[in-house]
Amino acid sequence: MRVRGGTRCALGLIAVLAGAAAGGADVPADPSGPASAPAELKDSEAQFKESLAAFCAIVAKTPEAAPVPVALGGWAPLQTPACAITGLVLLGEGNTLTSGPYAAHLAKLEKFVLLSSQALLAQDGSHDCWALSFAIVFLAEVYRVHPTADLREHLSLLVKRLESGQEGEKGWRHSLKPQKDEKYGSFNGVTVWCAAALALAKEQGIAVDEAKLATAIAGLRKSIGKFGGTNYYSYAPTTVGPGRSAAVCWVLKRFAETPGAEAERALGFFLRNAAYAHEGHGSQVMNFAWAALAASVSGPEASANYWKEEAKVLLGERQKDGTFLHHAWRDFGYQDSAGTGKPIERTDNTTWPDKMYGDAWANAWMLFTWQAGLGRSVLAKKLPPPAAPKDDAQKSAQDEAWKTAAAEAEAQIQAGKSAEAAKQLDALLKDRPGVAELHRLRALAYIPALAQKPGAILLKELADGKNGWGAANEAAALGCLNRALSAKEGKGLVPDAFDAGVQLLIARIHGRRLIVSATSAPASPAWVPLYNTFVRSIDAPMKNAATQIEASLVAQGVLHFLPKKTTPAGR
């Protein structure tokens, strides 16, 4: 058997919190059945379903914060791709977020990818382009069956962020921008997924810079050598591999307006060396998937030729319980030497004892590969685009309604009618619990003093404790403010400024608690932890330009009322 064996890894957990997903009616995919599969795979349908069920049984037992238990070995970039590929398999089987035998599994995966991709928007670390592209590929397919205005907006942000990392025809590095110690250039393996991500987003009606997409496609086309081999780097005199040739072949045939002669050269190289298509740098199982996609988009004859031998490899890797094991990949290639036209020979077969990949990673990709062979991969054919989000007009009207009601509630708080404002805000929060601004206003209804800007008024209120101050109200207001910080929508156009404003309100509450403790019992050490809590809470708004002046006034006001004997040295 050509694929080298490996040792089963313990299944780890991805420790990231997952957000909640909402939406309207789902439209399931229309996957073709096993009739489109090559003869070697037609009889494997029952086995495929058994393997899928075995893997989903594992996913069903995991928490939402870790839906795919990849044995990471400390390598975080595997998290989002593993969830995305598993989700694509479930979509290919006709599941949606609300229908199908694995709907709950798909919803869990979507929640994780939504949150992990949100974090990627603010990062510039190694492999961010790679993870971001997988997030877009998966979420674009979710959007196709479950179009909502919120998901469309999120995809638009992800697309713009991904486009920012492109370096012309060279494509993408691992990172969104070069790192100081980065030795790598642009990668075809990364560019393949980034180009596919932009193309799929475009097909779903998401705004994409079409010139950049065309440039990426052109760069991939130029990376194909005279005999069809595709370089590891976009432009470099290095070895080529059939897996990467298959990957570029897939992108050109699936997404380019005209695949061209380059796609046929890549297909020829890939099929001549199909026995080694799943080998090469970057994980053998992903190379295997590229090969399956290239075979799927190249017609029945190419698919039959590929799977005639490779079906034995795939089925031979299946364990008795239906699952798959991870493997170390072999980093070897071929020289696409000019002028000879002879078959390209292997030049190296070094085995990399790579511990970054785990069993869940292998299961996700092997199921994806198998599904492509069965003719049901959502990435192998153009599917009907999504209908316009049905919730657009309704959501717009709802947004205007809650914003108007929130403004009225804030005016009531300013007018001293906090009880009336509290009732109105409670009613709004039943329908819009994810709107951060409503939670912020509810905190002000508990403590109307927080609605006043820091200054002379603040000094007086901290001293007399009127206008809503008190242990019960302070605890309730802190709960509201913490919910405001964790809410995923409704923060406005500048979430950083919103967060800083909320953190300033939290600091004022902690400042009041410190003053009460220190002035009521100056000789007691009970004020020390309260002092430390206040200092930590005021730090973030002190560093934000929008709240820096007000935060300074709060700090001065708190220190003003602290008995001098209790103030720590140097403060």
87 pLDDT exceeds 90? yes
* Mean pLDDT, rounded, for 415-433: 86
Contact status, residue 232 vs residue 239, Cβ threshold 8 Å = yes
Most confident of 8-22, 94-108, 183-197, 341-355: 94-108
Please check the confidence at residue 458 and state whether its pLDDT lies above 60.
Answer: no
Lowest-pLDDT range, 78-82, 182-186, 217-221, 429-433? 182-186
pLDDT beyond 60 at 538: yes
Contact 78, 130 (CB under 8 A): no
How high is the pLDDT of residue 556? Answer: 82
Of the candidates 88, 204, 76, 83, the one whose C-alpha atom is nearest the C-alpha of residue 128 is 76
Contact predicate 448/413, CB 8 Å:
yes
Q: How far is CA 381 from the centre of its chain?
A: 23
Using alpha carbons, select from 540, 542, 534 the residue that is nearest to residue 561. 534
Q: Where are the domains of the chain?
A: 34-120+223-335+357-373, 393-566
Average pLDDT over residues 219-226: 89
Burial class (CB in 10 A: 0-12, 13-18, 19+), 453: exposed
pLDDT at position 33: 46
Residue partners of 35: CB distance under 8 A and separation at least 6:
42, 375
| 544 pLDDT higher than 80 | no
Percent of the chain with pLDDT over 70: 76
Residue 35, pLDDT above cutoff 90: no
3-state secondary structure of 449: helix
Residue 5: per-residue pLDDT: 33
Instruction: Provide mean pLDDT across the span 306-312.
Output: 91
Over the stretch 365-389, which tens digit does the pLDDT of each residue have? 999 999 999 999 999 999 888 876 6
Check if the beta carbon of residue 14 is closer than 8 Å to that of residue 109: no
Q: Is the pLDDT of residue 462 over 60?
A: no
Beta strands at 350-351 and 330-331: parallel, antiparallel or unpaired: antiparallel
- Of residues 186 and 483, more confidently modeled: 483
The reported pLDDT for the residue numbered 157 is 92
One of 1.25.40, 1.10.10, 3.40.50, 1.10.3470 is the CATH number of 393-566, namely 1.25.40
Q: How confident is the model at residue 569 (pLDDT cuts 50, 70, 90)?
A: very low
Neighbours of 165 (CB within 10 A): 22
pLDDT classification of 12: cutoffs 50, 70, 90: very low
C-alpha 399/C-alpha 107 separation (Å) is 25
Which one, of 219, 214, 118, 125, lies nearest residue 176 by Cα? Answer: 125
Q: Is the distance from CB of 158 to CB of 121 less than 8 angstroms?
A: yes
Q: What confidence category does residue 399 fall into, taking pLDDT thresholds of 50, 70 and 90?
A: low
Average pLDDT over residues 286-303: 93
pLDDT cut 90: percent of the chain above it: 35
Residue 27 scores a pLDDT above 60? no
- Cα→Cα distances 64→55, 67, 218, 394, 563, Å: 16, 5, 40, 29, 48
Is residue 230 classed as helix, strand or coil in its secondary structure?
Answer: strand
Q: Please check the confidence at residue 467 and state whether its pLDDT lies above 50.
A: yes
Pick the more confident residue, 15 or 293: 293
In 3D space, the residue among 284, 290, 315, 291 whose CA is nearest the CA of residue 305 turns out to be 291
Band of the pLDDT at 188, cuts 50, 70, 90?
confident
Q: Which of 231, 272, 226 is nearest to 248 (CA)?
A: 231
**Over residues 224-228, mean pLDDT:** 85
| Residues 474, 435: Cα–Cα separation, whole Å | 21
Give the H/E segment covering residue 97: none
| Confidence (pLDDT) at 29 | 56
Residue 499 has pLDDT above 90, yes or no: no
Q: 3-class DSSP state for residue 350?
A: strand
Q: CA-to-CA distance for 142 and 7, rounded, in angstroms? A: 34
Q: Whole-number mean pLDDT of the chain? A: 80
How far, in Å, CA of 417 to CA of 73, rounded?
56
3-state secondary structure of 266: helix
Per-residue pLDDT tens over the stretch 106-162: 999 999 899 888 888 877 667 788 899 999 999 999 999 999 888 998 999 999 999
* Mean predicted confidence (pLDDT) in 514-524: 80
| Overall average pLDDT of the 415-421 stretch | 89
